[in-house]
Amino acid sequence: MNTSKYFFQTLIVVIVSGLSFLAFKTFLPKKLFTESTFSSKNVVVDSLLLEAIAEDEGATVDDSMAKTVIDYKVVNGIQFPPETFEEYTGNQYLATFFEKLFQLETKKEGNVRIAYFGDSMTDGDLIVKDFRTYLQEKFGGQGVGFVNITSESASSRSSITHEFSGNWKTQSYLKVKRPSNPFGVNGHVFYANDTANVAWVKYKANKTRFASDLPRPTLFYGSSSNKEGKVFYMSGADTIVKKLTPNKAVNTLALSEGNLKSIKVNFKKADSIPIYGFNFDDGKGVHVDNFSNRGNSGLPIGSFDVATMRAFHSKLDYDLIVLQYGANVLNYGSLNYGWYEKRMAKVVAHLKECFPGVSILIVSTADKSTKYDLEMKTDSAVVPLNTAQKRYAIKSESSFVNMYTLMGGDGSMIQWVEQEPARANKDYTHFNHRGAKEAANLIFTQLNQGYEMYKDLRKKRKKPAAPVKKDSVIINKDSVYEE
């Protein structure tokens, strides 16, 4: 056999193939793997996003805002320094939230509650778990907060073991526009509609820091004409049966005033009663509820029923709502995100109506890399979306965390994926557990810096002195005081 002959033939084929590729390369699209039609078995794009793109894609972008300096009004004697568009954090709009933290830290009284809404970036309690831990480490608090009845990410959640029977009927605000009953604060409503088989849910605490128990397990459920519903569960060797009384828009049932390691709850004759989930907290310190949904753009939050949300608010008393979206908004054929800015500003306004007095924190899209000309680079849609998120944060008087810049800016996702140990997955979009912890620390650090600045401003704020009578004239003098 003439091996040299075959070697040279193979070499010629390789050379010709290489030259042919270089010749045709100029005709190939720069972005080889377009994501204009996102497809994944783990991601469902909410219908409201698709409708918004069709209706508002031509919305104009306010480029003049980039040159704006934001001057803040004095609130309760507190005024944060002015900020440029580039450096915007909006800490001024967290003043009431910071005051609650201050009272908690100094007097050890009351509690602070945060609702953290997100997409697949916070799936399985990623980011939120560590964000919760950082806050509870500083301000106290035990428990994982509010947990759904069923969850697509239950198996991947490390902060609690969550199991449930397969006969629950679920309605989500990502898929249903007109639910049988209003959605809960988690964007879901669940029904134990299988009368032939018992529907059940089971929670078990793990060794997660500050969540090694299930404090005060409390069921949340809605209104129904069904007065026969019951739950039963084991307490030691005893079976405890409790009746459901679905008289109000939001009802609660405490299954224990103490801490449990695990609990399995069975639902009997509870069909047609809307079930929302369980809450686990000790009533002290800080509690953070993770309301993540894969495929969520944030727009479905605008479908919340105001009366129902206010009923939830009266029981849970939120002080801060975090919105972390973006992964599902990128790459829809346009770099103009004026439509998203417009719609999300309305979402924030709706949230403020649903939860009076709450502060809002917007966490921007993280960096995401896409292959251009055989090279991984920051996706061209990241910066335009990030800018739109900052604009709607400013317009809606919300605070803002720029995750894109905090993680390193242009090309940073490549580093998070390829450096050892890796902090993000090979999809160049999502953080792994290590990266999620670092991302949570970035968010917490900025929030804590704002809080520490608030405390400094609080010491120096002006407080009107008591009126002093002098020659029948009342005189007021401002005095600078320290606490």
Which domain CATH number covers 251? 2.60.120.260
Assess if residue 37 is contained within a domain: no
On the question of pLDDT at 473 being above 60, the answer is no
Assess if residue 187 is contained within a domain: yes
Tell which wins on pLDDT, 48 or 465. 48
Answer yes or no: do 119 and 216 share one domain.
no
Answer yes or no: do 288 and 277 share one domain.
no
pLDDT of the residue at 237: 85
Residue 230 in tokens: 């019951």
State the maximum Cα–Cα separation within the chain, in Å, rounded to a whole number. 122
53 contacts: CB under 8 Å, gap ≥ 6:
332, 339
Assess if residue 18 is contained within a domain: no
Answer yes or no: do 160 and 52 share one domain.
no
Tell which wins on pLDDT, 474 or 374. 374
pLDDT tens column, 113-164: 999 999 999 999 999 999 999 999 999 999 999 999 999 999 999 999 999 9
Answer yes or no: do 463 and 354 share one domain.
yes
Answer yes or no: do 249 and 193 share one domain.
yes
The CA distances from residue 188 to 115, 176, 265, in Å, are 15, 10, 19
Pairing of strands 218-221, 359-363: unpaired
Assess if residue 104 is contained within a domain: yes
- Domain containing 250 equals 147-282
pLDDT band at 477 (very low <50, low <70, confident <90, very high): very low
Q: Compute the average pLDDT of residues 390-402.
A: 97
pLDDT band at 189 (very low <50, low <70, confident <90, very high): very high
Of 216, 249, 282, the one marking the end of a domain is 282
Assess if residue 339 is contained within a domain: yes
415 contacts: CB under 8 Å, gap ≥ 6:
408
On the question of pLDDT at 481 being above 80, the answer is no
- Which pTM value belongs to this model? 0.86
Name residue 421's amino acid: P
Assess if residue 216 is contained within a domain: yes
